[in-house]
């Protein structure tokens, strides 16, 4: 009986830990011009989104009134050290889709010159399907525009084809009737010249 109960606790713990892997909430302090980096392993074509908020604490670690000096620089890069985005703000959201699999790095750097600690609340979410849906909607919109462009080009080519068919028909008729008219002219001239009416 105790073995079954331990197994249930173990399974629940594993499930809880797996569900916590999707959302990572962090709360930490940063000093003046300090930098902290986080590494997130991502497969290809997965969306990583995050929300951050900063707050300045005084020496007794009490929140100070809103100041302008709480902005941080956030830089995300892929495993090849290509910068995916750069943001400088005191609060906001960001997201990006991993182009290649591997360890993606997110670095936060305090630019605060105020005296005191800067508190940072950071929520990271992997696989935000709302952003993916927005990407799919944008892709659908782009494909719709492309289809309309192709349709306009097709209609234009169809009109040009009809014009060329009409020109070819007129040219063919001219080619057919020109020898007939010329022959009648030559026969008429010969008959007039020889006066053989």
pLDDT tens readout for residues 37-64: 888 888 887 888 888 888 877 666 666 6
Are 35 and 107 contacting, i.e. CB atoms less than 8 angstroms apart?
yes
On whether the CB atoms of residues 83 and 162 are closer than 8 A, the answer is no
33: left (phi over 0), alpha (psi -120 to 50) or beta: left
For residue 87, give both structure tokens: 């943001």
Q: What is the pLDDT of residue 168?
A: 94
Provide the token pair at 72.
Answer: 């941080």
From residue 130, give the alpha-carbon distance in Å to each of 13, 46, 77, 125, 182: 28, 12, 22, 11, 77
Residue 16 has pLDDT above 50, yes or no: no
- Work out the number of other CB atoms within 10 angstroms of the CB of residue 146: 10
Where are the chain's structural domains?
19-127, 129-197
Per-residue confidence (pLDDT) for residue 113, from 0 to 100: 64
Computed on alpha carbons and rounded to an integer, the radius of gyration of the chain in Å comes to 38
pLDDT digits (tens, 9 = 90+) for 68-86: 567 888 888 989 988 888 8
Structural tokens at position 29: 């302090």
Distance in angstroms between the alpha carbons of the first and the last residue of the chain = 132
Question: What topology is assigned to 19-127 in CATH?
Answer: Jelly Rolls (2.60.120)
pTM score above 0.85:
no
Query: Got the DSSP string for 116-148?
Result: SEEEEEEEEEE--HHHHHHHHHHHHHHHHHHHH
State both tokens at 170. Answer: 């007129």
């Amino acid at each position: 009986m105790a073995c079954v109960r331990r197994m249930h606790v173990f399974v629940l713990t594993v499930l809880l830990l797996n569900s916590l892997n999707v959302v990572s909430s962090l709360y930490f302090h940063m000093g003046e011009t300090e930098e902290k980096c986080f590494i997130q392993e991502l497969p290809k074509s997965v969306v990583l989104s995050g929300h951050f908020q900063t707050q300045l604490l005084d020496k007794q670690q009490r929140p100070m009134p809103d100041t302008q000096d709480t902005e941080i620089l956030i830089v995300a890069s892929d495993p090849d050290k290509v910068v995916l985005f750069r943001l400088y703000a005191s609060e906001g959201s960001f997201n990006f889709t991993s182009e290649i699999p591997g360890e993606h790095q997110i670095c936060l750097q305090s630019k605060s010159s105020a005296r005191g600690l800067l508190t940072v609340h950071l929520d990271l979410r992997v696989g935000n399907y709302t952003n993916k849906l927005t990407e799919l909607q944008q892709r659908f919109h782009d494909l719709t525009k492309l289809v309309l462009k192709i349709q306009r080009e097709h209609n234009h080519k169809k009109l040009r084809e009809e014009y060329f068919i009409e020109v070819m028909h007129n040219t063919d008729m001219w080619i057919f009737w020109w020898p007939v008219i010329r022959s009648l002219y030559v026969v008429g001239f010969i008959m007039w010249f020889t006066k053989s009416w």
